[in-house]
A and B are shown apart, each in its own frame.
Chain A
Amino acid sequence: MSIQIPVRDSDEVVEVKISELPEEVDDVIGVLQAELAPLDIWIQFAIEYYKQNNEQNFEEIMNEANKIPQATIDEKYADQLDSRIRCLNILAGHYIEKSKMLKSSEKEMERDSFNTKATTLLNQAESIYHSHPSTFISRGVMYLQKSEFDRAETQFDTALVNDPKNIPAMLGRACVLYSRKEYNKSLELYKDVLKTLGSKKCPASVRLGLGLCHYQLGHVDKALACFNRVLQLSPSNVGAHIAIAIIELNRAVKLGEDVGAATEHIKKAVTSVHTAYQLDPNNSMALNHLSNHCFYRGDHEKVNKMSMSALHNTPMNEMKAESYYNLARVQHVQQSYQTAFSYYFRSSQLNKQYAPGLFGCGQLYLQKGDVDNAISSFRKVIEQDKDNYEANKILGSLYAQTKPNKPELALKHLRIAHAAFPKDEEVLIEIGQSERRDFQASLDAFLQAEVLIDKKIQNGQLEASAVPYQFYNNVACVSLKLGHVVKATHYLLKALQQVDMDESTIHDLLESKSPIHPEHATLVYNFSRILEEMKQTEKAKSLYVALAKQHPNYIECYLRLGIIHNEQGDLEKAIMWCNVASKIRPSDPTSLAIMGDIYLKHSHWSLAQKKFDQVLKLSNNDKKDIYALLAMGNMFIGGIRPDMMDPDKTDRHLQYASAQFERVLQIDKNNIYAALGLGAVLAERGYTNEAKDIFTKVRENHAIDNDSKLSAIPETWINLGHLNMVNRQYTNAAKLYENCLKKFYNFANVDVLMFLAKAEFESNKFDECEKILEKAIRLEPNRLVLWFNLAVTSHEHCLMILKDPKKNVTNSEKANRLLEASVRLFTFVSKASKADQKKEKAGTEKSFIVRMAKNYIQKVIQQTRNKANEHMESSKLEQEKTNRLKQQQLAAIEQRRELEDKMLAELEQKKKAEEEARKQRFQEQQDKLAALQEQWNDGKPDHQGSAAAAADQEQEYVDEDQAGGSTAAEKKKRKKKEKGEKTEKKKKRVKRDDSKKKRKQAEKKRAREAEDEEEAETPVDSGATSKKKRLKKKTSDEDEDDAGSDQNENPYESVRDDGVVVDAADGEEEVMFEDVNETTSKEEQSDESVKEQMVLDEE
């Protein structure tokens, strides 16, 4: 091949073979200038030099081309506008490329100078022709280079406006979109380019772009196909090699467990990176990846070298961050923590979104013991990569272990870590330890961890003896908390096994045969706790004693002994043990708090208060403080409250209680126990509305049910109960007290039983109240107040019955029984402290009760007894009256039966007579009809005749009845009255169902007959209606009202509608009944006559 330079003003050409381009570019330039060669020829020469890697000559030719004086241009090159712009753009592009090649950040100046040169050239191009696409594209590329994407976009867009299918502009724009992470749009554009060019002509770089977009969009397979295609077209494409390496590496990471397959992918990745590196030893990406690989191979020297080289060959911070990360890691493994930290730090500064760098920082902060910064670093890691397993795991454990620990946060991260990698038993164990509220979840996590541990042991990955005893101990503790005693025992034995102990060593300990290592004492302690749960209290006691003998500072042993003795009612020993504990560790408020509790249970208020005061002095507004304050608050509200003798004292106590609760609320404003306590105090002091407010708030924010955490202490239920009492919600209060009894005391708590009794008393449920008090007395018969309350309740119960206006003997008897019982009880109570009176002060509760009981006996009982006697008398009178009435009633019933029989007979007769009459009438009509038929028989059609006959018949029927006489209005009125009476009769019929069977049967018979009668009426009725209808056709609409009233007045309907049974006085019944019977027959007549009357009206 050769380039031909046309000779000026002739047809000759100078031919220069491209393989023989002169070394001296000036020669070429000289010829070009002399011959005024077209600019394209200049370009051809420049490009040929460029292709032969002679950049200098290229630059010189292009420079000269651009330096052609304006005059020459105007004269000779005016027509080569396009070529002139091309010249400028080519050189500008070259400078841009050169600036791009200067990757190292130190060469900022040089880069700028190239960019300035490029800009100058482009300005020149623009001044020649301001909207040439290639100028825009060049500028766009330059901006891309400088990561000024918005400006780049403007340039490419402008180019595309003029030429929508301008390939370089399209590619430029795709780049911009890619850099903005709009991978979908970028991908579309690349695809567009591919289409425009056709797949054959499409350069590798376009396919690289496609591949990158696919990769970013997660289409890994497509991406890989693209990169492979790139390599087919251009085997030396560094970018494609690196991209493939990254894909392979990711695949290896994802496989994780499957080591064989992962290794395959890693091998592929390494090969690709190597190729990239060989192709371009200065490609930072390749260098970083390769150094990463070297790090895993342990070749730290190479890592350092490559990372440094990578650092120098890139201006990009992202890339540098990776290099620093690699450098840091080497220092990290070599334990040069200071240097490592500074590299990690630089890495994280250069790219604040680079998770590995942040992670390294976190690790080294931890190494330095700077937990706060470590936490913030790991949090940043998670911000970038929220499911990062390692970071979540570490963060979880940090939150769990550092103080003040945040179990909720810890659990959140641990759960993410667990989801990311479910087979990490360490995470599961941490979860188990952090679940302090949900013991079941804790146990579940531990048990899952155990399965993984067992698997590892089976596979030989872990020695069974290497499992820490603490693990099994923890499982045992959680099981115990859940009440799974058998499980707890199982795991505790396992824990013991880990430290070469078993039950027999514990027995040896009991006999002081073998000493227990201090670290393992906790196992023995937990074993004793399990024994306690198994109700093996005596054994547990001796074990605590034996353990404490060996480890005198193990104060928990003394405390347990204190608690056990307290539960067995041995106050002296209980306090003795607690004191031992308190002496050994005077600064520990636990023993004081327990002593406070013990004194509380034994009603030694002042001693209890003393202990709680000591607790408060020791602690500084922490949880234990709250505990003591709550205990004191509850003590003053619940324990000392019922001081009937001294209301002022009571009020002082309540004030004191409220002060305690308020202090708790100052420390922890959401403390629900304190809120409830305060509510109860307010209620007790009469601030009902304020108490109600608190009550409502508590209710809104906390569901008080059997599952809620709040419901785990009895005070919650009791205080809620008190609040309900104040609100007069006695039923609710009773429910709460009852739940409390059921949940905590197996109904064996006298105090709560008393609250319950009070609630039942207030709602006048005396029967229930008595039973509850009796149950309380059954438990603690020595409490005089219970007996007294029972007496009062029976007395009130008696009074309630006496007040009931309904007096009967059964009630009177019950009232008397209750009165008798209450008198006995009052008597017993009044005598209770006869002997003591001198010894005991007059102000005690007991003497108060005794006085009250005496008062009842002396003043109240006699009144009640009188009332009861009156009641009994009137009840007896009432009963006699009732008996008399009953007899009367019986006689009346008998009489009535006779009457009815008589009436039935009469009815029967009447019916017969009527039937006769009717038959006769029918016969007469038949005869008449026959006669008429005979008359009309000649020639007239049959049906006409019969219709006329029917009409005639009706006409006759009406006429006949019309003879009845009275006016329509009169008849109607009468009918109404009679109907009312009939209704009455019907109702009574229903009422009398309490009569004897025989009577009932007779009635039924009668009723049936009555119905028969009614049925007998209906045909007439319907006949009338049908006729009416027929008549209506002829007459006007005005009749409708009449028809309506007729229906409404139907007596049978009204009986059925109003089902109320009228309770008539017994004495009048008979008379009424007679009346009714009399009217029945009249009614029948009148009914018919009314109907007929109406028909007449219509006519």
Chain B
Amino acid sequence: MQAYRVQSVKEEAHSDGVWSVAWSKGSLITGSVDASIKIWKGEALENSQTFDGHRLGVISVVTEKSGKYACSSSMDSMIRVWDLSKGTAVNTIEAAPAWTLDFSPDGRFIATGSQVNKCHRSANTGSVNVYGVESGKIEQSFDIQKKTFILTVAYSPNGRYLAAGGQDGSVAIFDVATSVKTSLEGHSMSVRSVAFTTDSERLLTASDDKHINVYDVKQGALIKTLSGHGSFVLSLDVSPTGLTFASSSTDRQIKIWELSTLECIHTFEEHKDQVWDIAYDETGAKLASVSDDHSIRVYTCPTDTSK
């Protein structure tokens, strides 16, 4: 039986806080407030490539399953699509201000929240814009109908839904095909991360209220509120095994939760500063975390059912 443990540590991976992390074919991609994106290979986390191009801090880096592309957003109001094999930006999209991103499960689209609404130019309400990866143009837009800054978006693994969380605590799920919106009540403070379970049936939301809410997607109802973090919950990721999910927080902790019981089964406290992002690899056997302490950490996670 495996246990949760630290596998690798890369101190000073960036010259400043690291804000985002994603896996692509066994490599890690990180984005930092130092404006750079770096690729890390192997257990030793060798820095194999650095992508410069963003002028300001990189807010989000995401990857798609084929491993061809990575996509990043920055405070300089740019979204860049990177060809990972060539190491070059294949597309640059102006999107002011783009926040966190998510690839559609088929890898063709990239969704991001925005304050600027392309559908209704007259209203200053938050919207979720979906860009074509190849075209670089807005292909679809969902209006959250609330005056809020959308901090996070997530596609459901089956591609049916797109969820968004806003700075005022609002959470909405859109039906991608019909654009029908379901609003979820429960948070009054910034929702910084949303994530669907692998079966696309439940939505997890992380908030500055220190709690994680678990919703039933179909019913649009709150199932449970999970206490445990001592400060803002910044990031969530569901393990591809479908058994657990992880949360990270300003309290420097990373918690592993069991989806069946909704209980916390493990806590890591390895970072010296807030943990901005976490990501499971494709197998769920590894979890990576990045923090304002400039470091990257990778943990091994048991993937069998007997925990």
* Interchain Cβ contacts within 8 Å, total number: 108
Q: A569-B189, A836-B124 in contact; A821/B55 too (CB < 8 A)? A: yes
Docked-complex contact A747 and B188, CB < 8 angstroms: no
Among A536, A538, A539, A818, the most chain B Cβ lie within 10 Å of the Cβ of: A538
Docked-complex contact A824 and B76, CB < 8 angstroms: yes
Q: A746-B251, A774-B33 in contact; A535/B230 too (CB < 8 A)? A: yes
A918 to B251, CA, bound (A): 88
For the complex, is B122 an interface residue (Cβ under 8 Å from A)? yes
Q: A748-B250, A775-B292 in contact; A538/B227 too (CB < 8 A)? A: yes
A535 to B247, CA, bound (A): 15
B106-152: which residues lie under 8 A (CB-CB) from chain A? 115-116, 121-124, 148-149, 151
A1059 to B283, CA, bound (A): 65
Residue of A nearest to B188 (CB): A569
Residue of B nearest to A748 (CB): B250
Residue of A nearest to B253 (CB): A535
Interchain CB contact (< 8 A) of A536 among B77, B124, B227:
B227
The 0/1 profile, CB within 8 Å of A marked 1, for residues 49-89 of chain B is: 00000011101000000000000000111100000000000
Docked-complex contact A820 and B55, CB < 8 angstroms: yes
Interchain CB contact (< 8 A) of B167 among A746, A747, A781, A790:
A781
Interchain CB contact (< 8 A) of A781 among B99, B230, B231:
B99
Q: A780-B167, A782-B115 in contact; A746/B250 too (CB < 8 A)? A: yes
Docked-complex contact A568 and B77, CB < 8 angstroms: no
Docked-complex contact A746 and B273, CB < 8 angstroms: yes
Which residues of the other chain, A, contact B230 by a CB distance below 8 angstroms? 535
Which of B173-181, B204-212, B299-307 interfaces with chain A? B204-212
A538 to B229, CA, bound (A): 12
B20-57: which residues lie under 8 A (CB-CB) from chain A? 33-34, 55-57
Which residues of the other chain, B, contact A537 by a CB distance below 8 angstroms? 210-211, 227
For the complex, is B169 an interface residue (Cβ under 8 Å from A)? yes
Which residues of the other chain, A, contact B124 by a CB distance below 8 angstroms? 833, 835-836
For the complex, is A720 an interface residue (Cβ under 8 Å from B)? no
A828 to B94, CA, bound (A): 11
Residue of A nearest to B59 (CB): A778
A747 to B293, CA, bound (A): 11
A491 to B252, CA, bound (A): 29
Among B115, B151, B226, B227, the most chain A Cβ lie within 10 Å of the Cβ of: B227
- B123 → chain A closest CB, angstroms: 6
For the complex, is B202 an interface residue (Cβ under 8 Å from A)? no
Q: A539-B227, A782-B167, A824-B76 in contact; A774/B210 too (CB < 8 A)? A: no
A892 to B74, CA, bound (A): 50
Which residues of the other chain, B, contact A571 by a CB distance below 8 angstroms? 188
Interchain CB contact (< 8 A) of A538 among B56, B149, B225, B274:
B225
For the complex, is A831 an interface residue (Cβ under 8 Å from B)? yes
Interchain CB contact (< 8 A) of B188 among A570, A777, A817, A836:
A570
For the complex, is B286 an interface residue (Cβ under 8 Å from A)? no
For the complex, is B16 an interface residue (Cβ under 8 Å from A)? yes
For the complex, is B97 an interface residue (Cβ under 8 Å from A)? yes
Q: A537-B211, A835-B124, A836-B124 in contact; A827/B96 too (CB < 8 A)? A: yes
Q: Interface size on A (CB < 8 Å)?
A: 37
For the complex, is B280 an interface residue (Cβ under 8 Å from A)? no
For the complex, is B284 an interface residue (Cβ under 8 Å from A)? no
Docked-complex contact A824 and B77, CB < 8 angstroms: yes
Residue of A nearest to B189 (CB): A569
Q: A568-B211, A781-B151, A836-B124 in contact; A746/B77 too (CB < 8 A)? A: no
A777 to B16, CA, bound (A): 15
Which residues of the other chain, A, contact B252 by a CB distance below 8 angstroms? 746
Interchain CB contact (< 8 A) of B149 among A782, A817, A821, A831:
A782
Which residues of the other chain, A, contact B225 by a CB distance below 8 angstroms? 538
- A991 → chain B closest CB, angstroms: 35
A804-831: which residues lie under 8 A (CB-CB) from chain B? 817-818, 820-821, 824-825, 827-828, 831
A770 to B75, CA, bound (A): 11
A821 to B189, CA, bound (A): 30
Docked-complex contact A567 and B55, CB < 8 angstroms: no
Residue of B nearest to A782 (CB): B149
Among A535, A817, A818, A824, the most chain B Cβ lie within 10 Å of the Cβ of: A535
A825 to B94, CA, bound (A): 12
Among B57, B122, B207, B274, the most chain A Cβ lie within 10 Å of the Cβ of: B57
Residue of A nearest to B99 (CB): A781
The 0/1 profile, CB within 8 Å of B marked 1, for residues 556-586 of chain A is: 0000000000011111000000000000000
For the complex, is B103 an interface residue (Cβ under 8 Å from A)? no
Residue of B nearest to A777 (CB): B75
A832 to B232, CA, bound (A): 27
A511 to B287, CA, bound (A): 40
Which residues of the other chain, B, contact A746 by a CB distance below 8 angstroms? 231, 250-252, 273-274
Docked-complex contact B227 and A774, CB < 8 angstroms: no
For the complex, is B228 an interface residue (Cβ under 8 Å from A)? yes
A780 to B149, CA, bound (A): 9
Docked-complex contact B188 and A774, CB < 8 angstroms: no
For the complex, is A902 an interface residue (Cβ under 8 Å from B)? no
Residue of A nearest to B148 (CB): A782
For the complex, is B19 an interface residue (Cβ under 8 Å from A)? yes
Docked-complex contact A567 and B121, CB < 8 angstroms: no
For the complex, is B165 an interface residue (Cβ under 8 Å from A)? no
Docked-complex contact B97 and A771, CB < 8 angstroms: no
Docked-complex contact B33 and A817, CB < 8 angstroms: no
Which residues of the other chain, B, contact A568 by a CB distance below 8 angstroms? 187-189, 207, 209-211
- B305 → chain A closest CB, angstroms: 27
Interchain CB contact (< 8 A) of B274 among A536, A567, A747:
A747
A782 to B124, CA, bound (A): 12
- B69 → chain A closest CB, angstroms: 24
Which residues of the other chain, A, contact B210 by a CB distance below 8 angstroms? 535, 537, 567-568
A821 to B226, CA, bound (A): 40
The 0/1 profile, CB within 8 Å of B marked 1, for residues 326-370 of chain A is: 000000000000000000000000000000000000000000000
Residue of B nearest to A772 (CB): B33
- A825 → chain B closest CB, angstroms: 8
Residue of B nearest to A571 (CB): B188
Docked-complex contact A821 and B17, CB < 8 angstroms: no
Q: A568-B211, A817-B55, A821-B55 in contact; A771/B33 too (CB < 8 A)? A: yes
A820 to B225, CA, bound (A): 44
Residue of B nearest to A822 (CB): B55
Which residues of the other chain, A, contact B292 by a CB distance below 8 angstroms? 747, 775
A777 to B74, CA, bound (A): 11
The 0/1 profile, CB within 8 Å of B marked 1, for residues 528-546 of chain A is: 0000000111110000000
Interchain CB contact (< 8 A) of A821 among B34, B76, B167:
B76
Docked-complex contact A567 and B209, CB < 8 angstroms: yes
A/B interface sample: 29 pairs, CB < 8 A: A535-B230, A538-B225, A538-B226, A538-B227, A539-B227, A567-B209, A568-B211, A569-B187, A569-B207, A569-B209, A746-B231, A746-B274, A747-B274, A748-B232, A771-B16, A771-B34, A774-B57, A778-B19, A778-B57, A778-B75, A780-B190, A781-B167, A821-B56, A824-B76, A825-B76, A831-B96, A832-B115, A835-B121, A835-B122
B-side residues, CB < 8 A to A, are 16-17, 19, 33-34, 55-57, 59, 75-78, 96-97, 99, 115-116, 121-124, 148-149, 151, 167, 169, 187-190, 207-211, 225-232, 250-252, 273-274, 276, 292
Task: Sort A-B residue pairs by CB-CB distance and give the 10 closest, nearest first.
Answer: A569-B189, A569-B188, A568-B209, A821-B55, A782-B149, A570-B188, A774-B57, A537-B227, A828-B96, A835-B124
Q: Using A569-B208, A747-B273 as known contacts, list a sample of 11 further A-B pairs with CB atoms less than 8 Å apart, ordered by residue number in A.
A: A535-B210, A538-B226, A568-B187, A569-B188, A746-B231, A746-B273, A774-B57, A778-B75, A780-B167, A782-B149, A831-B116
